[in-house]
Amino acid sequence: MKWVDNHIFFRVPRTLLPEYNARHANWHREICSHGGHRQNGSRLWYGGKDLPNGSSEEFNEDCSTVLQDLADAFPRSLKDREFTYTDADIDVVSARLGIQWEASKSVPFMTEVPYLGFQWNLHTHVVSLLEDKRTKYLAAIVEWEGRCTHNLLKTQKLYGKLLHASLVVPAGHAYIRKTPHLLFHAFHVWTFLLSIFVHLVVCFSCAFS
């Protein structure tokens, strides 16, 4: 797994490619049997089988394409030969399509990479806040707690940070769901808003410590 300029890439071990392509074909059949392409506003996606919670599997393609093994396309390291493609293959295809990547935002293929402000670990199946984000969010909470008054803009900024953190800190979900409706209304709800935010800030502060 790696990311380049806010795009994520996964690669498949060569030994597992036949099994993965079989799964890919099965997903394609499920997508076709459940209506295929869908659209919500400007978002285009493909729906698969129904899940126990009432939602459906979501795909960003129809899975009709068979994945190829590019390991023999040109010389590469022994480690990279274990996988179906490597960085150089991405560069070749990107150049052909006229896509330019920001090299400074690229990280190599690893089993643990930073993406969207989180650290993603494929071995442990754990997603956590990046250390710099954790430090930044804790500082914002400390600053909030050190002031007696808060304007709407600063409240919105803190809410955005806590909303992001709530994706990997479940303890804050119960409070953060109550906040958006209040954040963007007039100040007559301010007292109630602050009481909710106190619980929210304390919850996340404990989780980050």
pLDDT tens string 145-187? 888 877 778 878 888 888 888 888 777 676 676 565 555 554 4
Q: Which candidate, 144, 153, 134, places its Cα nearest to that of 197?
A: 144
Residue 152 burial (10 A CB sphere; 0-12, 13-18, 19+): middle
Alpha-helical (H) ranges within the chain are 17-33, 87-97, 131-145, 152-165, 173-176, 180-183, 190-208
Are the CB atoms for 98 and 110 separated by under 8 Å?
no
pLDDT for position 2? 62
pLDDT for position 63? 95
pLDDT for position 209? 53
pLDDT for position 106? 83
Q: pLDDT under 50 in the chain at which residues?
A: 186-188, 191
- Interatomic CA distance for residues 76 and 200, integer angstroms: 50
